[in-house]
Structure 1
């Protein structure tokens, strides 16, 4: 909804310079065509909250949206991207507790119905009414403000670092994988891929007191970062082959053509594998004979249910999750073109790229 904005409640923080009365956003009209637009300040409707965006991260999915390579049904143009973000509640609509205004927050991206069988079982990322997600089919956070259902908010402590908190969306995906994996103290663990998801997984898994924690990545820089974040060893894929069959638990985060297969080979007989990366069509499949003979338990994760968001935000506030160290670039909103090129550059020194309105 849009219209003439009302003055904020007395408890609201002062608006950023130039924000009040109008709002900017990055609109991707169709693949490879975008513009910075300015429009009326969006107004929250019943049950909604308006959040002033502090920072929004870019990932490979945002580049897919920009290039038009995201799978059909998982993007709706024109769209304002931005599904990884943090901010401060700026206003609330009818039926929402006014005490939220002024709170630092992050929020779930999936717009699940909340009433289907899967939602009622707590599996909101499997909502049977169809896919809807902030930044893909609904306006996202590459903007001054984002409006969304208040029920999706996960308020943070007053002292929370909002820049680092912009990475809590990928952290929630990793948290979903860790909850599914159920690591136990003393287990041998491997993480395949040391990008954003992999490094967040290293941090969360290190907190489970494994006997050893291996990170696998072909790039030297990410391997070094994995060691700094809790991995006891970091190897390139060729060297990791010597450890096949040696891990109780393997968490795959890369989504590369062969990483699902390789992850299953790293697991011991009777071991557990959780897949979080999103491979492109044509990726190498898992050998069904190896799967059966080794009696592996293989699970997959797409998105994050509320329990994973709760786990990620609590781990962040307790200092077990330190996503700020993954950020390498912070750019203004109008530098979207530069940011999207950085994400697709393949430069191993490029970590998480943020847009800051």
Structure 2
């Protein structure tokens, strides 16, 4: 039997994408958690760039979406617990790796919920991207003395830059946006380079590294030419970390260069659910210890009814934009 607090609302709101660039908000009955599940009264959900291709109406996309669908960066408070859940309780504040978090409530498997400590009370915590930054950082093996280039300073790139600086690396931040470069300087980047002229960037990084290029390059942009650029900036036997979300047409790799340099390539898109949960736990610890500070990176906040604006802004990236959060409370 489900354990439910008293005086709960009986209805929830959920965004539904109805077509390319179109949405509505429906009012629906609250779902009940099954065995091994919990229901989370969401405080908010981050907006991920992976929602943009469905939002644009890709030919494979089916409309309407399920209520709350595509939202996967939610956090909030457990308000109902299903059977066979023994270590999570009504009232626990959590990050949830669930799939329908563009809504005021969502159901999550008990093994996909990470309890948030009191120290983080009142702070937004989109667990999936914060955990992803920890996964990428761990796999990159960045350490003191390394020279690290981050190509693309959006939300994820900014988090990775923080982690690299915290590890004692020399960070070169590369972005087309002056706002992001200014943020990178404040966060401790040693050098910042505007991402406009491909050949000039290569020459600048070559000069900054005495011709050796970078121990590790993190491509966090998601387009073809920044991926090409990232390979050019990686030294022999270095590491190229591909973390940009590449969508649309199949992209190509410069295998001739990659073979010549002999560097390791890591596709940092984790798919093991248990690893993803541990990554979020690591992110909780990193925020508590000050290794990560995402607070200044949440630049725009929207109510659920304005999800369309949040998605458009995530696509268009106007000046000053890094990360949109949907806020429900």
Say if 2:216 and 2:240, in contact at 8 Å, map to a contact too: yes
Name 2:55's counterpart in structure 1: 66
Say if 1:49 and 1:148, in contact at 8 Å, map to a contact too: yes
Q: Which piece of structure 1 moves more, 251-260 or 337-346?
A: 337-346
1:222 Cα deviation from its structure 2 partner: 0.7
Instruction: Give the SS at the match of 2:31.
Output: coil
CA separation of 1:76 and 1:48: change in aligned 2, threshold 3 A: farther
CA separation of 1:75 and 1:169: change in aligned 2, threshold 3 A: farther
Tell me, yes or no, if structure 1 residue 240 matches structure 2 residue 237.
Answer: no
Following superposition of structure 1 onto structure 2, how do residues 87-166 of structure 1 map, counting pairs within 5 Å? 87-97=76-86, 99-109=88-98, 134=99, 140-166=100-126
Please list every run of 5 or more consecutive structure 2 residues that lacks an aligned counterpart in the other structure: 207-211
Q: Distance in 2 between matches of 1:287 and 1:6?
A: 56
1:108 Cα deviation from its structure 2 partner: 2.8
Say if 2:73 and 2:97, in contact at 8 Å, map to a contact too: no
Name 2:209's counterpart in structure 1: none
Following superposition of structure 1 onto structure 2, how do residues 305-324 of structure 1 map, counting pairs within 5 Å? 305-306=275-276, 307-324=278-295
Cα deviation 1:334-353 (Å, max 9, x = unaligned): 22222222222331322211
1:173 Cα deviation from its structure 2 partner: 1.7
Name 1:334's counterpart in structure 2: 305
Q: Distance in 2 between matches of 1:76 and 1:318?
A: 42
Q: Distance in 1 between matches of 2:176 and 2:88?
A: 48
Q: Which piece of structure 1 moves more, 31-40 or 20-29?
A: 31-40
Say if 2:18 and 2:63, in contact at 8 Å, map to a contact too: no
1:292 Cα deviation from its structure 2 partner: 1.3
- Superposed CA RMSD in Å reads 2.4
Name 1:49's counterpart in structure 2: 38
Q: Distance in 2 between matches of 1:101 and 1:291?
A: 52
Q: Which piece of structure 1 moves more, 140-149 or 227-236?
A: 227-236
Name 2:27's counterpart in structure 1: 38
CA separation of 1:99 and 1:176: change in aligned 2, threshold 3 A: closer
1:285 Cα deviation from its structure 2 partner: 2.6
Match 1:226 to one of 184, 193, 215: 184
Name 1:293's counterpart in structure 2: 260
Cα deviation 1:124-173 (Å, max 9, x = unaligned): xxxxxxxxxx1xxxxx111111111011111110121454312x321222
Tell me, yes or no, if structure 1 residue 186 matches structure 2 residue 145.
Answer: yes
1:68 Cα deviation from its structure 2 partner: 2.0
Tell me, yes or no, if structure 1 residue 344 matches structure 2 residue 315.
Answer: yes
Name 1:27's counterpart in structure 2: 16
Cα deviation 1:176-211 (Å, max 9, x = unaligned): 21121111221111111000110011111112111x
1:289 Cα deviation from its structure 2 partner: 1.7
1:77 Cα deviation from its structure 2 partner: 3.3
Instruction: Give the SS at the match of 1:159.
Output: helix
Match 2:154 to one of 192, 195, 201: 195
Pairs aligned (count): 313
Q: Which piece of structure 1 moves more, 36-45 or 168-177?
A: 168-177
Tell me the TM-score normalized by structure 2: 0.87
Instruction: Give the SS at the match of 2:316.
Output: coil
Q: Distance in 1 between matches of 2:67 and 2:44?
A: 18
Following superposition of structure 1 onto structure 2, how do residues 214-293 of structure 1 map, counting pairs within 5 Å? 214-237=172-195, 238=197, 239-242=200-203, 243-244=205-206, 245-282=212-249, 285-293=252-260
Q: Distance in 1 between matches of 2:21 and 2:309?
A: 13
Tell me the TM-score normalized by structure 1: 0.81
CA separation of 1:75 and 1:204: change in aligned 2, threshold 3 A: farther
Please list every run of 5 or more consecutive structure 1 residues that lacks an aligned counterpart in the other structure: 10-14, 110-133, 135-139
Q: Distance in 1 between matches of 2:79 and 2:174?
A: 42
